[in-house]
Amino acid sequence: VTCLDISSGGGLGVSTSTDGTMKIWQAANGEIRRLLEGHVCDVNCCRFFPSGLVVLSGGMDAQLKIWSAEDASCVVTFKGHKGGILDTAIVDRGRNVVSCSRDGTARLWDCGTRSCLAVLSDCGCPVNGIAVGSAHSSLSLGTPENPPSEREVRTEGKILLLAREDKKLQGVGLQSRQPV
């Protein structure tokens, strides 16, 4: 097991593995409900969307995938990273997601169009972990150089933290793309 998450209601769990699979299971008793297959090689990370019915995963195959927890179908595959995906984050209710990779980038994706909206950071070393959260009002997140896409939803006032392999923690304004 390389990663796990519990749904917001606590009823389901999801776990990833080095054999390229993920399992959806009942949190109360550990009973396996679904086997999710589609990544090639290790699946590094998994995360339930706020609904608890959808799962986001990233693997060493450099693919980010969205799955139905109800029928185990892969409904979206995002491609664009050049190295294995190491972590993910869901923005607000999940119209947008963020991924980070061994290729040194963090990317913002639009789930509806299956497209990369922005490379949020390219730091030249693997990004091992990320977190998205609301920034305190006293923190200046910068101003976007260009207006954000209409596909970008609720990124204002949010900070993206990157845990880099070079032992640095980096902050980026999610909407502005500016270092914090």
CA distance 73 to 57: 13
What backbone phi and psi angles, to 5 degrees, belong to 142?
85, 175
Q: Which helix (H) or strand (E) holds 171?
A: strand 169-173
44: amino acid identity, one letter: N
Q: What distance in Å separates the CA atoms of residue 30 and residue 151, rounded to the nearest whole number?
A: 38
Mean pLDDT of 121-130: 97
The pLDDT of residue 163 is 98
Q: Cα separation of 78 and 152, whole Å?
A: 16
Burial class (CB in 10 A: 0-12, 13-18, 19+), 137: exposed
Residue 135 to residue 22: CA distance in whole angstroms: 33
Spatial contact of 80 and 61, defined as CB atoms under 8 Å apart:
no
Structure confidence at residue 53 (pLDDT): 95
What is the mean predicted confidence (pLDDT) over 43-65?
A: 98
Q: pTM to 2 decimals?
A: 0.95
CATH superfamily of 3-137+155-175: YVTN repeat-like/Quinoprotein amine dehydrogenase (2.130.10.10)
Q: Where residue 144 falls among pLDDT bands split at 50, 70, 90?
A: very high
Q: What are the CA-CA distances from residue 112 to residues 42, 99, 125, 151, 162 (Å)?
A: 26, 16, 29, 8, 25
What number of CA atoms fall less than 13 Å from residue 119's CA on the CB side? Answer: 13
pLDDT band at 105 (very low <50, low <70, confident <90, very high): very high
